Every structure is written in structure tokens, then in C-alpha cells.
Copies of this chain bind each other. A is one copy, B any other.
Amino acid sequence: MTGKKSERRSECPTAYALDIFGDRWTLLIVRDLLIGGKSRYKDFLEAGEGIATNILADRLGRLEAWGIVTSAPDPVNRRVKRYRLTQKGLDLAPMMLEMILWSARYDPDTGAPKAFLRRAQRDREGLLADLVEGARARAVD
């Protein structure tokens, strides 16, 4: 959970990803941005898993430092900050999709929507393109 190069464990690409995502919260924020249509601090706070405000602030700060998320004032209400995924963040879509498919396969209580899963099987590339396009369209810039 650090972006500092001096603390890296190895040059292994799995370790690189886990140095960023190896906690229970960071990818949930990416999920909210990519799939959940969320962009404001309070949206993430209310996302369902009950993230604590100090953890949320910390993880958003790290995501910005890693260049995965960026933020800007809302064009209408400039006191509200809008977060969005950068290209580096949008490029997490295939990994997120595979994570969702694996969970949906093995979690008997999964809440993954059936229509989403069907489309992932039939039209993986189209689904990925739509996810990325949707997240991009919600971006503020």
C-alpha cells in the first residue's frame, strides 16, 4: 500500500499490482468509479460496504498519487470535488471484470446481475468498451 519505489518488494508484476491494490478497500473505490457511476466523496462513503471516512480519504489520496484517479471541482457547484479514473484507472476494467466473473462463479450468494454475466460471456470486449465509455462520459473534464 505504498507508491514509494524504495519500498517495493520485487519487480514482479503481480507484486506491483498488490502493492497498490492489496487491501480491502482500494478496488472498491475503483469499482464505484468504473461501474457504480459514483464520483463524489459522499457517494463512495455511502457505497454499502461501510468504508470509514479516514480510510476513504487515505485511499483516494493514494489513488491520486498513483495516477489512477484524478479530481476536479464540479463545474456547477465548485465546492464539490468530482473524482474520475485516468486512463491508467480505466485500464483496470479487464482485471475488474475477471474478478467479478470469478466471484460470481464461486460465490453462491453473489449479487452480480445475471444480465451483466451473460453479456460478459457473450460479448466481453463490447462490455468492457461500454464500461470504459460510461466511466469516461461521467468524467468532468
Contacts and interface: CB of A to CB of B under 8 A. Distances in A.
Nearest to A66: B106
A103 B28 contact: no
Contacts of A37: none
Each complex incorporates copies of this chain amounting to: 2
B95 A14 contact: no
B24 A104 contact: no
Contacts of A97: 98
Interface in A50-83: 50
A22 B5 CA distance: 21
Nearest to A88: B106
15 contacts: A1-B24, A10-B49, A10-B111, A12-B28, A13-B111, A14-B27, A14-B28, A15-B28, A17-B100, A17-B102, A18-B28, A22-B24, A23-B24, A88-B106, A94-B98
A49 B12 contact: yes
Contacts of A8: 109
Contacts of A115: none
A99 B49 contact: no
Interface string A16-45: 111101111101100100000000000000
